[in-house]
């Protein structure tokens, strides 16, 4: 059996090859290879919400699945990205219930969104890493362009954030989360972080 490589999420970047999509960038544990996987906007939003520590007022689909796992005493042991074929990555959820293992086919983006909510590890195979991974220049800094892409698409709103205080931005962030406007919420969170980092320097 092909050896498994543990992955961590390095960030979400605006896709350079597919309009309206995003690239989820994985880093191998204790290695320099990076595995980019193109995902759709809704899935990118669902993943970004967890990465940005945002709490939606009502559970999203991936939250619902994670809650069902907890209620039914199902453990997500791991997510395995096991194949690349016809331009798509194939993944499976490895579940445990009552000492019985189940392997459920899943889109990679859905599997990752659920794994983040359950704190489950994500793996791929050495074969996939060998054929699909790239080695990033270690001096290059990966920025989270999920927010940056939204900024470009909504430049008028971005300009307005420069003229308001950080307290007002935090109020807007709270309102955006309550209204389930996660694109706006992640953008506001990014602006708040940028200003707080500038203060600390």
pLDDT tens string 25-45 = 999 998 889 999 999 888 998
What pTM was computed for the model? 0.71
Highest-confidence segment of 53-62, 117-126, 183-192: 117-126
100: pLDDT confidence band, cut at 50, 70 and 90? very high
Domain boundaries, the chain: 4-135, 154-200
201: pLDDT confidence band, cut at 50, 70 and 90? low
Spatial neighbors of 109 by CB under 8 A, at least 6 apart, are: 24, 37, 39, 40, 43, 44, 46, 47
CATH topology of domain 4-135: Bifunctional nuclease domain (3.10.690)
pLDDT, position 57: 84
pLDDT, position 135: 76
Burial class (CB in 10 A: 0-12, 13-18, 19+), 22: buried
């Amino acid at each position: 059996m092909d050896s498994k490589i543990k992955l961590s999420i390095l960030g979400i970047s605006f896709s350079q090859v597919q309009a309206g999509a995003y690239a989820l960038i994985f880093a191998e544990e204790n290695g320099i290879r990076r595995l980019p996987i193109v995902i759709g906007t809704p899935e990118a939003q669902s993943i970004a919400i967890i990465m940005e520590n945002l709490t939606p007022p009502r559970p999203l689909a991936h939250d619902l699945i994670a809650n069902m796992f907890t209620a039914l005493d199902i453990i997500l042991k791991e997510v395995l990205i096991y194949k690349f074929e016809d331009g798509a990555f194939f993944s499976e959820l490895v579940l445990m219930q009552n000492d019985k293992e189940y392997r459920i086919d899943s889109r990679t983006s859905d599997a990752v969104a659920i794994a983040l909510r359950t704190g489950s590890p994500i793996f791929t195979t050495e074969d996939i890493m060998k054929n699909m991974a790239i080695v990033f220049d270690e001096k290059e800094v990966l920025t989270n362009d999920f927010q940056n892409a939204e900024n470009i698409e909504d430049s008028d709103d971005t300009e307005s954030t420069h003229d308001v205080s950080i307290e007002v931005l935090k109020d807007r962030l709270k309102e955006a989360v309550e209204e389930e406007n996660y694109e706006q919420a992640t953008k506001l969170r990014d602006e708040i972080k940028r200003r707080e980092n500038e203060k600390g320097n």
